[in-house]
Structure 1
């Protein structure tokens, strides 16, 4: 029963993924056992912007009913939340995982135990660490959790070199991508993709555009046009351009005048220093980064060991010889065979096949 109720807390916690950074989106239930089974008295999820915490929201929902109840929470409560649980008189707290912040780790559980509250930890811990991977990765590595998404044709292409933009994957895969965008803090592309495809990178589900992630373009020379769809939408959805420190000042000023945030970092092999760029994004509160293209950015992240997840949408279409290869040098098949990645999910989405890999080492 603990596992079933923690699974509910995890699903509830997903509601605000992409909206709470840099805080994790925690889910919390206040539950009372009865002869007829458990009754949920209150529930909470970390509020948009990261405060108040999920435990405080759940306690407010349960009110006086929280006394002697059991609380299920997807991460160890902070000391502040632990004190609130103690004051509410709960009898037991079930956590999925320790707080990954070394400054807080163990402190919430210790306060609860010292107050005589029974603590059970580690219930569905792997699932919780996956859901809170952004928060964990920033604390452990100083960069966001990076997920690469690629829609790949039957002949290994992600689009055409020239001509009209080609949608490789189908409607169902596109719908899954919208969910991925909603749950990401930011989505990133390279300037090549921005110039060729002119995407908007917003959430395209009716009524959910406000849940669009921050859009980020790696653009060494700040070449992104003020007439692009990305820049035109900067007033509604945040747009950041990461350029080199030596990018022409006139280019940067044009973007700034359009409401674009221009971040500058040093240069690396063939463009901006991507590791430095990721550190800057983490410093600005990005914990979950979705990378949507193109091939050069994907290859750079792969070769530097910066990918934590890879989601491939395999489509039956054939692009032909004028296509852009998904990853050069057989790197795509290397992901599928590499011991560094393990396959964790596979699903049929219309005519497409989605395969998701996670970093294993």
Structure 2
């Protein structure tokens, strides 16, 4: 199995406590255009803040303009445009408006998502986490492909899929992606959608790299944001995300981060010159993450290495960056969305 870039840390000099602001220090993004989905909630806000600080023009797709305007009020110059990832017509309309302006797209950060939600389907009958976290972003990215190519041909373009270490919870269940025959489990559905994010970056990078378009996926860390609204306090305590008083636990060495720290890897993937010539890899802590080594219980071993501070990386499950699975997912996604590059 190969990826376009080895799944091996570069030794970037950054670490788990690095913030998004530190990543863009000295980076000039003047004249560059970025789209950040989920840019008015959680990590997306800090991603937008860092990109604007470095001089980029930033477009944020929004379902709730009033909420977005209030949340982003302290960040000047952000363009808000209506879009709902669960509504294919809305995604098309957003992409059409952007393409009609004949602008290049240098950075597409697919940061929006839902997590562990109660079972539901979209209007097409697709399971909601897979539909939102993967298919919505798949459609958006392919519809924006001409703008990415325009940027790629000039100075390069990057697509960033904000995934999660939660991908360990499920490979793609090819014969029942939408939970039509198996019991629904919220975290398994979330894990499947995050594996899809990783595989999407692998195949997108393969298709785009000769055109100057590179793609990355990443684990931001364990950060208490509105994403976790459907997880109970007892479960959050069990995961070590909050303490007995319900306060967030901050320990970057164990991947428990503040929002500015959590946004760092997204921003690094979108902007860092350290990634020039690289792509198709899964990242953590503003670096390329290692593979989770095979073993009797590789997930438990990875968690233990981080818990004991033997490593700052959880790593990536090999199945979630497998190039054959990536191609298979791309073809399935084209069929499910009716969208082709």
- Using the size of structure 2 for normalisation, the TM-score is 0.30
Higher relative contact order (CA 8 A, sep 6+): 2
Max radius of gyration: which structure? Answer: 1
Report the structure, 1 or 2, having the larger helix content: 2
Q: Report the TM-score, using the length of structure 1 for normalisation.
A: 0.29
